[in-house]
Structure 1
Amino acid sequence: MIRVLCLRQLLGLPQLNIFIADKLAKVKYSRHLSRGALFGCQYRMYSTANVDHEDMSKIRNIGIMAHIDAGKTTTTERMLYYSGLTRHLGDVDDGDTVMDYMEQERERGITITSAAITFHWDHHKVNLIDTPGHVDFTVEVERSLRVLDGAVAVLDASAGVEAQTLTVWRQADRYSVPRMVYLNKMDKPGASVGLCLSSIKQKLKVQPLLLNAPIGTGREFEGVVDVIMMEKLVWNSKICEDGIKFEKKLLSQSDGKLYEDALKARHHLIGQLADIDDSIADLVLADTKLDDIQSEAVRKAVRSATIQQKIIPVLCGSSLKNKGVQPLLDAVNLYLPSPMDVHHSFIDFYRTDLCALAFKVIHNKQRGPLTFLRLYAGALKSGSTVYNINRQCSEKTSRILQVYADDFQDMSTAVAGNIVLIAGLKQTYTGDTITSSQSSARAAAREFHKTKATDARNSEELGAPILAGVEVPTPVFFCSVEPPTMALQKQLDFALECLQKEDPSLKVDVDKDSGQTILSGMGELHLDIIRSRIANEYNVDVDLGPLQIAYRETATESTEVEEILDKKLGDRHHLVKMKISLHPDPSATQFKHVILMSSREENLDHVKKHQLKAIESGIQSGITNGPVLNFPVINVTVHLHSFHLGPGTSIAMVSACAAQAVHKALKQANTVLLEPMMILEINTDEDKLHGILSDLAQRRSHVDEIQSRQDTRVVRAITPLAELMGYSTAIRTISSGMATFTMELSHYEQMMPLEQAKAIERVTGFAPVL
């Protein structure tokens, strides 16, 4: 029995989706399909008008995430084509993809910014975000995963779990996003499902559940076996080059070893589910034959376990060869959660009022700032006024837009569960919570107080509940930026303001001593693309100064100081006395609160809350610039031992005294530099391995492990960032262009005195006295 997914082009209806008929329907297959003549082939089709956009159970908010070059964008382009949204197969190498629409993306062949798009598949609405794979743009992955209900992790089937895969996986763990894995590039030599399943278990520490087994590998890869349905799906590129048509038939004993392997895989799958799902366990314990367990029951169990993140469904295919993408789309609908399946407790506080998170801001030359919103509760109408809880201001929306990469379509209303683009919000930033009105925020705050007042020291200070924002990684590079003429300074300031609003990982500061504008970013590529965008989008051909490392500073000794601020300004006398101690603490990556150290001699209960906030503000200001090279100080805790305030003293003086005390303590605490250490992963041929290892030894690297993947070697090392400046050029020379590498921030590590002296000389131009 063969069932065929027919060509849209043959129907002359490219915007319609044609699906395989029900598994019991008998379909006669003909090689002579022609326009208007389907020869008995049964199919069903629908247009987007038939989809109920308000049925949250039919909505999927998903992201595509992976290591660089694993095939995310290619997979997304196939999804758009098979769903009927596009009429051509976009190719990254040709620079004609829908999702990589920026000029920089098409020139470099990489994804730089996360792109959103909406399409329909099997009566479901899919809001999809294609995320970057390069570590320099990890914040794009971070803020996308923050608002998604599910994600598809794409792996290179010949490489398994790679460095950036681990990074994006940890980001998804942070937001508890249910995931599935798609093993792409099954047509590559060395592609191995076993290798991938093993690396998923060992590196990601999760339980993979193989749903689609490959039929052949390498050049022999022709399709997959649906393990649950016991069906064979085969794509014949000679009959249908674009992969929209494929054969599907039930496996039988006549298929020999393929049938036996599929049956064995199905039994193993049911055994895995029996350990985590009660319904399947009951069937197994009731001595039900494994072959008799209904496919629908298995699918239901897989969906439940996926949403609870007990297992990770695994599918396979080759997106570039147009094989295996349709089963992946079916799996998205079947196993990843809808907005109804992911309950957020804060929704209860807003009830039917609007509750949305602004997770991204872009600038459009015609429309101005455009804000991406994920709606969690309520509805939003075009032209309505909304209230920004974080900024405590009201703004009017001008338009609601449905996003199709760089194209937009107007909507009159957006409802909970959707991701939309809003025009008109000029004061909204990434991470802000939006609600219907100020009264809605107050009502939510009252509900919030009822549940939190017993745990809070002062329930009156609790505002309306806000959605957790996006965690922005620490920049590791910085450089100066200057316009060609002073007349363009204002234009540059506007460009940087817009870009900083779009990209939270880009930091812009002004050096107090030199007056130069300083850019801080995630890497060389990140800052280079910022420079290109300023030139191309804002017509300012800026000059970037030499790239420098963003070091950190820390104290190596505990110290205690007493500070007195005694000043008379005008007719007011200001007097502040405080004693603090500063202590090294490797676990304190960021300063949060000062620790009160009450004693018999000094009781600090008299310190009021606004005074404590002023002290903490001063401490925060004091550790922003360390005494060695004015870099931020980390890994320290501050204790307050005594505090006295003269009558009439302003709060600003309290902060100033605390900042002076911290500066004094840091000078006495033997402050040293910390340098960023990077996780470096290099893929190279066997014959180039020795040269690469020799070079790493000269770069103060510590090699953790060397793995074998077929005919290649994977070197994983911890290396100081200062030693990796221009490494892309060096590794091309050493390996004759055959090696590739990725790196990401691991941690900060104390420098040796000699290396610290070199760093100080590089930054200041003067060699310190050792």
Structure 2
Amino acid sequence: MAMQQRTERINVGIFAHVDAGKTTTTEHILYESGRTRALGSVDAGTAVTDSLEVERQRGISVRAALASFSWKGVQVNLVDTPGHVDFLSEVERSLRVMDCAVLVLSAVEGVQAQSEMIWNALRKLGIPTLIFVNKMDRTGANPQAVLKQVRTYLSDAIIPVQRPLGSEQSYTGAADLWSEPGDSAERTGLLETLAERDERLLDLYMSGEPAELAVWKSHLQAETAAGRLYPLVYGAAAKGLGIRELLDAMIDYLPRAGGDPEQPVSGIVYNIQRDKSMGRMAYVRLYEGTIRNRDAVRIHTQDVQAKVTQIRKVEGGKAEDVGELAAGDIAVLYGLAGVRIGDVLGSPDAIPQEAKLAVPLLTVRVFWPADTDDQKVIAALQELADEDPLLDAQWLPDERELHIKVMGPIQLEVLGSVLAERYGLKVTFGQPSVIYQETPAQAGEGYVAYLMPKPCWAILRFKIEPLPRGSGLVYESVVRSSDLLPQYQSETARRVPEALQQGLRGWEVTDLKVTLVEGNHHVWHTHPLDFAVATPMGLMDGLARTGTKLLEPVLAVRIVVPEENGGRVMNDLVQMRGSFEPPVLQGGRMVIEGRLPLATSLDYPVTLSSFTKGRSTFTSFFAGYEECPPDVSAERTRRGVNPLDQAKYILSVRNALQG
């Protein structure tokens, strides 16, 4: 019986390309649902979900905010995500905990590079999705063109369930195709699209029987919940048009959250923020079980227990203590002191896979005034790296340097203001430099016999083979445990990824298969850590024999410029070692799509904007690593002693291990 009493719940992420009007849509949803009494505005800096000072100043949502409300008896957790590509890691983490999504597109700009990228991630994870075409009241709004684009770039299974009334400034809303009287071309289109995809409905359609619309609609609901069809609705969020209908569509088409509150706890921390008075706030999606105030929870990934002091639902700056968090719900937990993003609470069994979109491509050195305590800056950035693990803050004590990884310049601007606002620290950043990678130039072998100075004994032989781009590192051992004991084999396996963090030129080595083909230990002389010392020497010996090729990050770009600037842009792309498809003309504008090395194009968006006098758009996203031409070289200063200098390396590692 307990299951009957449970509130129906939807966890929906709201996603969009920057400036498609996503935060405005969220504000109106909260207003219409009665959650907020006054409308916030992004432009006026009063948006409820933008709580950071820097968000209010810049008018962009940096943090994925969580808002909860009820609509027609269904509890909705709405996760608003940042639309800017520099904050993609935040989008990626939100995706993981969503059961369904609303993708906001602009009726003027249509499908932009990032909308496409988010769409691909939603499809990869099989997340049911609604499309909301916003800004229908703007000059240049063209729903037919947008529909054509979504079916070309996103999916031909996207189906409008409304008919727009009026256009541009005379837009007054949209009629629901299921309930409007009479037959319209749009309704016929809707039924035909459904019939094309289902034998039973096709028979019904061909029989000429009067359509029982409820049957068709329930089919669309089931197919949407299964992530196979995607309803599309229209609106103009800034005027509040289409918001109630969007809420109805969410309740109509999107699936309810599952999970059993009686099962053992299984949840994940997908976001961390700080509360000035309460400390660390852990945003948790619970898949199974129930957590109550003062419960001790096991943080599975760290193997520690932590006590929950409060469970709150947050509605933009305001929070209420709800006392418990049950399966299928999302809330903020307080009291979990050492918790990090990605930590699993309880059992990991019920937690879905992750979509990997964000790859930081730039590394930046952090500088601070001489009278500032180094440790304060290091501690602050470590804490921020707990909130965004991709920052990967690295302190190099010998060089007294602090380095972080970032996605782009806006992220640096935000980091600078967070460090000033939250920690009172004034920092500056060096010039961002591109993160390259290395890969073996050919197959080969690496060998090490670590037998001196005694006591030690470790012999290893590795086969190294290059793999296709994007393969990462694959490791296996074909050595019998009688030749090399399992504990020595696992020590070797553990050290391989570490050893490949720095190749011949100092960059991480990737896209290779490493196979341990020979290994020996000595009954008397071997110490378990001998294999920790030997593995990097064996691998570097192998890389010195195979040689390595340099790989650079490449962006997929979409550039829209006035026609008269097209020639210059194509010339610029060639100069930057880019490649592009034949350009497409769209009403006086030229659309150029192609690929561009990040290293040559770091400043190009600014250059483009200045010579087109702001009448251009440059959208890009990471498309993978590709081989650099032979004339491009990039070295990174090695940290620590190079394992190729074996005598010096052995001494330094032994000292470190003993220390």
Find the partner of 1:289 among 195, 210, 233. 210
Q: Give per-residue Cα distances to partners, 1:599-658, cap 9 Å, x unaligned.
A: xxxx56654443322112222122100111x11111111122211111242222112211
The match for 1:504 is 389
Contact 1:363–1:502, Cα closer than 8 Å, also in 2: no
In the alignment, which of 213, 223, 229 is matched to residue 179 of structure 2? 229
Distance 1:373 1:400, change over 3 A: same
The one-letter code sitting in structure 1 at the alignment partner of 2:580 is V
Tell me by how many angstroms 1:528 deviates: 2.5
Partners of 1:85 and 1:119 within 8 A in 2: yes
Structure 2 residue 399 is matched with structure 1 residue 514: yes
How far has the Cα of 1:399 moved from its partner?
0.3
Question: 1:518 is matched by which residue type in structure 2?
Answer: H
Matched AA of 2:344: T
1: CA distance, partners of 2:617 / 2:357: 27
Cα separation, partners in 2 of 1:467 and 1:432, compared to 1, 3 Å: farther
Supply the distance in 1 between the matched residues of 2:492 and 2:412 (Cα, whole angstroms): 36
Partner of 1:455: none
> Corresponding residue for 2:380?
495
Partner residue, 1:543: 428
Alignment partners' CA distance in 2, 1:655 and 1:467:
34
CA change 1:161–1:487 in 2 (3 A) is closer
CA 1:464–1:657: 2 relative to 1, 3 Å = farther
1:472–1:228 distance in 2 versus 1, CA, 3 Å: closer
SS in 2 for 1:505: helix
- Going from structure 1 to structure 2, the CA distance change for 1:491 and 1:510 (only over 3 Å counts) comes to closer
Structure 1 residues 703-712 or 579-588, which shifts more?
703-712
Displacement after TM superposition at 1:286 (Å): 5.9
Match of 1:394 in 2: 305
Distance 1:472-1:502 versus aligned 2 partners, 3 A rule? farther
1:325 aligned residue? 243
CA contact (8 A) 2:446 2:540 kept: no
Pick closer, same or farther for the CA change 1:736–1:588 going to 2, 3 Å. closer
| SS of residue paired to 1:741 | strand
Match of 2:189 in 1: 268
Contact 1:277-1:305 within 8 A present in 2 as well: no
Alignment check: 8 A CA contact 2:266 2:350 kept: no
Partner of 2:515: 639
* C-alpha RMSD of matched pairs (Å): 2.5
Paired with 1:74 and 1:213, the residues of 2 have a C-alpha distance of 22
Structure 2, unaligned runs of 5 or more? 640-659
Partner of 1:208: 158
Give the equivalent residue in structure 1 for 2:340.
429
Name the residue aligned to 2:361: 476
Shift of 1:157: 1.4
Q: Distance in 2 between matches of 1:730 and 1:117?
A: 39
| Aligned equivalents of 2:488, 2:152: Cα separation in 1 | 50
Query: Residues 280 and 690 of structure 1: is their aligned pair in 2 closer, same or farther, counting only changes over 3 Å?
Result: same
> Residues 314, 468 of structure 1: CA spacing in aligned structure 2 closer, same or farther, 3 A cutoff?
closer
Q: Distance in 1 between matches of 2:411 and 2:294?
A: 36
Q: Identify the match of residue 268 of structure 2 among 351, 354, 357.
A: 357
For 1:651, what is the secondary structure of its paired residue? coil
Kept in 1, the 8 Å contact 2:96–2:352? The answer is no
User: Is the 8 Å Cα contact of residues 484 and 521 (structure 2) preserved in structure 1?
Assistant: no
Which residue of structure 2 aligns with residue 339 of structure 1? 257
Write the distance in 2 (CA, Å) between the matches of 1:213 and 1:712: 28
1:298 aligned partner? 216
Question: Which of 1 and 2 has higher RCO (CA within 8 Å, sep 6+)?
Answer: 2
Q: Is the aligned partner of 1:752 residue 2:636? A: no
Q: 1:103-157: CA deviations, max 9, x gaps? A: 1112122221111101122222110011111111111111111111110011111
- Relative to structure 1, the CA distance from residue 684 to residue 432 in structure 2 (aligned partners, 3 Å threshold; closer, same or farther) is same
Q: Distance in 2 between matches of 1:313 and 1:683?
A: 28
Shift of 1:720: 0.9
**Change over 3 Å in CA distance of 1:474–1:752 after alignment to 2:** same
Structure label with greater radius of gyration? 1
Cα drift, residue 221 of structure 1: 1.4
Partner residue of 1:583? 465
What is the TM-score of this pair, normalised by structure 2? 0.91
Report the Cα offset of residue 465 of structure 1.
Answer: 7.2
CA gap 1:223/1:545 in 2 versus in 1, 3 angstroms: same
* 2:645 match: none
Q: Would the alpha carbon gap of residues 709 and 405 (structure 1) be closer, same or farther in structure 2, given more than 3 Å must change?
A: farther
Rounded to whole Å, the distance in 2 between the matches of 1:54 and 1:357 is 26
In structure 2, what is the equivalent of residue 60 of structure 1? 10
1:120 maps to which of 61, 67, 70: 70
Tell me the distance in 1 between the aligned counterparts of 2:138 and 2:5.
Answer: 40
Report the counterpart of residue 38 of structure 1 in structure 2.
Answer: none
Deviations, residues 566-608 of structure 1 (Å, cap 9, x unaligned): 1356xxx221111112111125632242352x6xxxx566544
Check conservation: 1:706, 1:716, Cα contact below 8 A.
yes
2:319 to 408, 433, 452: 408
Q: 5+ unaligned residues in a row in structure 1: which ranges?
A: 1-51, 231-250, 253-259, 436-440, 442-462, 765-770
* Paired letter, 1:747: G
| Compared CA separation, residues 588 and 740, structure 1 to 2 (3 A) | closer
Residues 467, 605 of structure 1: CA spacing in aligned structure 2 closer, same or farther, 3 A cutoff? Answer: farther
The answer as to whether partners of 2:125 and 2:355 remain within 8 angstroms in 1 is: no
Partner of 2:79, secondary structure, is: strand
Name the CA distance, whole Å, in 2 between partners of 1:684 and 1:593: 47
Cross-structure match for 2:227: 309
What's the secondary structure of 1:165's corresponding residue? Answer: helix
Q: 2:292 aligns with which of 378, 381, 389?
A: 381
Paired residue secondary structure (1:372): strand
Identity of aligned residues (%): 27
